């Protein structure tokens, strides 16, 4: 067994300025420059989630992919959901899950649809043979300078994806979750320090933090833990497909004390920690990873 390297977090990953780039939403990780790191080469498991069964929304890229890779390397079977346009990214993830000898299943579909959300959970239970980790991570983020530029359709799409979908999915999953199961939401520093140009998105992240804390209290008597991860600026497709202005993107992460954006790989172990059985007293918590600024 070789010891993991002691990395200096300052120089570990690319720093701004970044090249201008834009992709049609929802974007693909494989087309980003530089490509994000989701732990493909680096994450090493130690059986922390052996035999667990996980459903991860937005598992094709970004934080969801980092969690999917880490979970599989910790011994979990994993189903990921994503949009049909993201099939190329999803294929890369499923290949990595299967390379660990775990079950890896991809289910494309739109979470804005309640019927789809319910069928997704049903498929997870059936095809994984149960469900005990639910990572509600998918989200829509589209930057708009003014509230006047946020259309009712925008507002509705953001709410449906970020607020309604977790509600539908968790409700569908709950009857199947046994004591010891874990629900993990992805919140954001935006929940407590919202940017002016993310009016609709930021309030959905406040909602995420709120539902996590509410459900943690509600589900503790059933032995189900509910926690959230709150990332700062992370280099993912969401940011290059309308999530950030070009000016923000070029300097992405420069405002943090570490002076760079985080990479999804730097958060994979946090999802593992919140899912793992030895974190049994952690519920209702928000685990931040924001390069030294922001708060959960």
Contact 228, 211 (CB under 8 A): no
Q: Which of 82, 199, 201, 211 is catalytic?
A: 201
Binding ligand NAD (rule: CB under 6 A), the pick from 67, 94, 139, 170 is: 139
Using CB under 6 A as the binding rule, whether residue 60 contacts ligand NAD is answered as yes
Cα 273 to chain centroid, rounded: 14
237 or 268: whose CB is closer to Mg ion?
237
Using CB under 6 A as the binding rule, whether residue 83 contacts ligand NAD is answered as yes
168 binds, among Mg ion, ligand NAD, none (CB under 5 to 8 A by kind): none
Residue 182 CA to residue 39 CA, distance in Å, equals 22
Binding ligand NAD (rule: CB under 6 A), the pick from 31, 40, 110, 250 is: 110
Binding Mg ion (rule: CB under 5 A), the pick from 74, 86, 132, 197 is: 86
Using CB under 6 A as the binding rule, whether residue 161 contacts ligand NAD is answered as yes
39 or 58: whose CB is closer to ligand NAD?
58
58 or 288: whose CB is closer to Mg ion?
58
Nearest residue relative to ligand NAD (C-beta)? 62
* Ranges within 61-80 binding Mg ion (CB under 5 A): 61
Closest CA to 163 of 155, 175, 173, 153: 155
Instruction: Give the shortest CB-250-to-ligand NAD separation in angstroms.
Output: 15
Instruction: Give the shortest CB-121-to-Mg ion separation in angstroms.
Output: 20
Using CB under 5 A as the binding rule, whether residue 137 contacts Mg ion is answered as no
> Does residue 271 carry a catalytic annotation?
no
Binding ligand NAD (rule: CB under 6 A), the pick from 70, 111, 224, 270 is: 111
Contact 161, 140 (CB under 8 A): yes
Instruction: Give the shortest CB-155-to-ligand NAD separation in angstroms.
Output: 14
90 or 286: whose CB is closer to Mg ion?
90
Q: How far apart are the first and last CA of the chain?
A: 35
Provide the mask over 235-254, with x wherever binding to Mg ion is found by CB under 5 A and - wherever it is not. Answer: --x-----------------
Q: Which residues are catalytic?
A: 201
Residues forming contacts to Mg ion in the complex (CB under 5 A) are: 60-61, 86, 237
Residues forming contacts to ligand NAD in the complex (CB under 6 A) are: 26, 57-58, 60-64, 81-83, 86, 110-112, 137-141, 161, 186, 188, 231, 233-234, 236-239
């Amino acid at each position: 067994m070789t010891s993991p390297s002691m990395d200096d977090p300052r120089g570990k990953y690319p720093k701004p300025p970044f090249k201008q780039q834009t992709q049609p939403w929802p974007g693909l990780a494989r087309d980003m420059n530089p490509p994000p790191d989701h732990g493909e080469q680096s994450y090493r498991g130690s059986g922390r989630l052996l035999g667990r069964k996980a459903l991860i929304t937005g598992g094709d890229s970004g934080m969801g992919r980092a969690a999917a890779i880490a979970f599989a390397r910790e011994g979990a079977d994993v189903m990921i959901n994503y949009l049909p346009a993201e099939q190329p990214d999803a294929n890369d993830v499923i290949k990595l899950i299967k390379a660990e000898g775990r079950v890896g299943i991809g289910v494309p579909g739109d979470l804005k649809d309640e019927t789809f959300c319910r069928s997704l959970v049903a498929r997870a239970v059936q095809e994984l043979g149960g469900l005990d980790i639910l990572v509600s991570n998918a989200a829509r983020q589209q930057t708009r300078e003014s509230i006047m530029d946020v259309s009712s359709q925008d507002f509705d799409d953001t709410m449906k994806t970020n607020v309604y979908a977790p509600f539908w999915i968790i409700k569908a999953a709950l009857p199947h979750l046994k004591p010891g199961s874990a629900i993990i939401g992805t919140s954001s520093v935006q929940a407590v320090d919202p940017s002016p140009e993310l009016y609709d998105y930021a309030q959905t992240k406040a909602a995420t933090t709120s539902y996590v804390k509410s459900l943690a209290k509600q589900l503790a008597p059933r032995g189900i833990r509910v926690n959230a991860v709150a990332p700062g600026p992370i280099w993912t497709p969401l940011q290059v497909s309308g999530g950030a202005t070009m000016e923000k993107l070029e300097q992405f992460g420069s405002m943090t004390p570490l002076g760079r954006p985080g990479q999804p790989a730097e958060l994979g172990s946090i999802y593992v920690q919140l899912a793992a059985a030895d974190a049994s007293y952690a519920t209702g918590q928000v685990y931040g990873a924001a390069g030294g600024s922001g708060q959960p």
